[in-house]
Each structure stands twice: as structure tokens, then as C-alpha cells.
Amino acid sequence: MSKSVFYHAGCPVCVSAEQDVIDLIGQNNVQIIHLGEDKSKINEAEKAGVKSVPALVTPKGNVLHLNFGASIQDLKG
């Protein structure tokens, strides 16, 4: 993985965190995945270790859970 991956669900907390992540590491260094719009990516997020969103998965595979918007289980519903 060469880019960080930012997973979110579109809530106000997530949207704010998305902009902060882009400001911090740059648009070209992060892939944004909106799990509310693309539920097919939920399994991918879970396999990466994401438990709640917003979350940032670093290129080394570390998961940084930022604030708390929704649990990954809530997104499956």
C-alpha cells in the first residue's frame, strides 16, 4: 500500500475529519472511501482493522481511529 486510506460514512464528524486528513497529508497521499455510499468496501475496511469511522489506515497498515462517527457494524445495517 503506497497511500493511506481514509474510511468514513459521510456524517459531519467524518466529513470534517476527511478535510483535516487531506490538509495534513495531501490529496495525492490518501484514498478516500465513503462506506455509506460504497458498502462493498466494508469487508475491506474490516480486514484492515477498522472498527469505527472515521479511520485512517496508514501505508504500513496501522489503523488510526479518529473521533467516533459510527461503528463498522452500524454501517452493515
Tens-level pLDDT at each residue, the chain (77 residues)? 589 999 999 888 889 999 999 999 999 999 999 998 999 999 999 999 999 999 999 999 999 998 877 899 888 87
pLDDT at 29: 96
Measure Cα distances from 49 to 38, 44, 58 in Å.
Answer: 18, 9, 11
Task: Give the span between the Cα atoms of 24 and 7, in whole angstroms.
Answer: 16
**What is the pTM for the complete model shown?**
0.91
